[in-house]
């Protein structure tokens, strides 16, 4: 997928490498992403685990990946009429793909942006084939609270940034999330992506990457600025 708000397509391989280098893989039975999105990290994790799980609040995204596992091919082009119609329709694989790929900035159904999606369509098909063993779930991250012996990688909405996700995310939500991570780390290996670690989080930065962003993302001035993505390992 080439357009997804908060996606990890560019850094996915490096994040997956940092995770696996900080875990004794012989003691892990499964891998889980509670905020799976477009699976930018998932497709690079080892394939020898016995269980693979992924969840997301966006039901259309879940339906898209389930369809891709069965061989569904997303469209390479849609018009604004189709985009607007999908806004009004129930959740579907098509809505999951079009809602991000043909939206401005990859923000789900947030303004039609006419672009060719041949590469994105191909990538979704490829990932669907690669990740046939993954079981997808619709819902909040807390649906995975019973997991034990898993690597859990979380890419939640970033606190202090403009949130375009299905769930409103403020300081209280963020605190609850980090409390959940601390609990889960007692029986799992938990990793979290973010720009910075809040003062209430018990975690250590194990990877960071600084990159330049520009255009509308950088602000109305259009000037480029730097951002540093970090990966934290939650203390056990």
Stretch among 63-77, 111-125, 214-228 having the lowest mean pLDDT = 214-228
- pLDDT tens digits, 23-63: 999 999 999 999 999 999 999 998 889 999 999 999 999 99
Tokens matching residue 92? 């579907």
**Whole-number average pLDDT of the chain:** 88
Q: Are 145 and 177 in contact (CB under 8 A)?
A: no
Q: Are 182 and 67 in contact (CB under 8 A)?
A: no
Q: Which of 155-159, 200-204, 210-214: highest mean pLDDT? A: 200-204
Query: Which pLDDT value is given to residue 114?
Result: 85
> At 125, is the secondary structure helix, strand, or coil?
helix
Q: Are 192 and 231 in contact (CB under 8 A)?
A: yes
Q: What angle do CA 84, 163, 62 make, to 5 degrees?
A: 60
161 pLDDT more than 70: no
Query: Which pLDDT value is given to residue 103?
Result: 87
| Mean pLDDT across 196-217 | 82
Q: Structure pTM? A: 0.88
Fold of the CATH domain 12-234: Rossmann fold (3.40.50)
- pLDDT tens digits, 131-146: 999 999 999 999 999 9
- Which residues are registered as beta bridge partners of 112? 103
Tokens matching residue 171? 């300081």
| Mean pLDDT across 101-115 | 84
Helix %, strand %, coil % of the chain (to 5): 35, 20, 45
Query: Which pLDDT value is given to residue 67?
Result: 98
**Distant-in-sequence, close-in-space partners of 125: CB < 8 Å, separation ≥ 6:** 68, 71, 72, 73, 74
Whole-angstrom Cα distance, residue 55 to residue 141? Answer: 7
Query: Which pLDDT value is given to residue 222?
Result: 52
Query: Which pLDDT value is given to residue 167?
Result: 63
The pLDDT confidence band at residue 160, using thresholds 50, 70 and 90, is: low
Residue 90, CB-side half-sphere exposure with 13 Å CA sphere: 1
Whole-angstrom Cα distance, residue 28 to residue 179? Answer: 22
């Amino acid at each position: 997928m080439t357009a997804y708000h908060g996606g990890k397509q560019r850094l996915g391989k490096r994040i997956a490498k940092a995770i696996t280098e900080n875990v004794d893989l012989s003691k892990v039975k499964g891998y889980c992403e509670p905020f799976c999105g477009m699976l930018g990290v998932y497709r690079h994790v080892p394939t020898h685990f016995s269980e693979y799980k992924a969840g997301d609040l966006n039901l259309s995204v879940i339906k898209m990946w389930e369809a891709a596992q069965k061989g569904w091919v997303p469209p390479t082009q849609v018009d604004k009429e189709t985009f607007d119609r999908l806004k009004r329709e129930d959740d579907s694989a098509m809505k999951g793909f079009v809602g991000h790929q043909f939206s401005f900035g990859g923000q789900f159904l947030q303004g039609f942006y006419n672009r060719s999606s041949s590469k994105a369509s191909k990538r979704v098909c490829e990932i669907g084939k690669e990740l046939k063993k993954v079981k997808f779930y619709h819902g909040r991250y807390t649906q995975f609270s019973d997991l034990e012996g898993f690597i859990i990688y979380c890419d939640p909405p970033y606190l202090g940034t403009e949130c375009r996700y299905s769930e409103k995310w403020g300081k209280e939500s963020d605190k609850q999330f980090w409390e959940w991570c601390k609990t889960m780390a007692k029986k799992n290996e938990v990793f979290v992506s973010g720009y910075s670690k809040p003062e209430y989080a018990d975690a250590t930065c194990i990877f960071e990457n600084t990159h330049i962003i520009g255009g509308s993302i950088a602000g109305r001035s259009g000037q480029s600025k730097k951002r540093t993505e970090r990966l934290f390992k939650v203390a056990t």
